[in-house]
Amino acid sequence: MTRGTPTEPMDWERPSDRFLAYIERLSQAAIARDRDELDKLMRMRLSSHLPRQILDELEFIRRSKGSTMRAPLKLMRYVHQMQQLATAPRDTKQLPLELRERELSAPMDPKPTSSRRRANS
């Protein structure tokens, strides 16, 4: 299987649509207690981007019996935070600084050592 180039450039300030869809599928599978779907989603490479607390909660849900009433609250909170980050306006308060070459001056001549000896005497 050949993978092509990514369709969207990496943006470090907000999650991608692909990641949002992935965590939404994870949330739906955890709520439905679908162990097969959770196993499939947890084996995907995108799961390496999830925080440890979320992975622990998903593992607990995957291993628990169907009668447990525990909801995946940490996962649902994380999904909500990522959705908020994705829809937030870009932060324009910090201005980008232009890099410019620094002017180098000639090294300074050290003071003669004889004057230091006289001052200490």
76-119 pLDDT, tens digit per residue, is: 999 999 999 888 887 777 777 777 777 777 777 777 665 555 55
What confidence tens digit (pLDDT) does each residue in 5-60 have? 555 565 666 788 899 999 999 999 999 999 999 999 999 998 999 999 999 999 99
pTM of the model: 0.64
What is residue 100's predicted lDDT score, i.e. its pLDDT?
76
Burial class (CB in 10 A: 0-12, 13-18, 19+), 76: middle
Cβ–Cβ under 8 Å, residues 88 and 15? no
What is residue 29's predicted lDDT score, i.e. its pLDDT?
93
What is residue 113's predicted lDDT score, i.e. its pLDDT?
62
The two structure tokens encoding residue 11: 């943006």
What is residue 1's predicted lDDT score, i.e. its pLDDT?
41
For the chain, the distance separating the N- and C-terminal CA atoms, rounded to the nearest angstrom, is 82
What is residue 53's predicted lDDT score, i.e. its pLDDT?
95
What is residue 7's predicted lDDT score, i.e. its pLDDT?
59
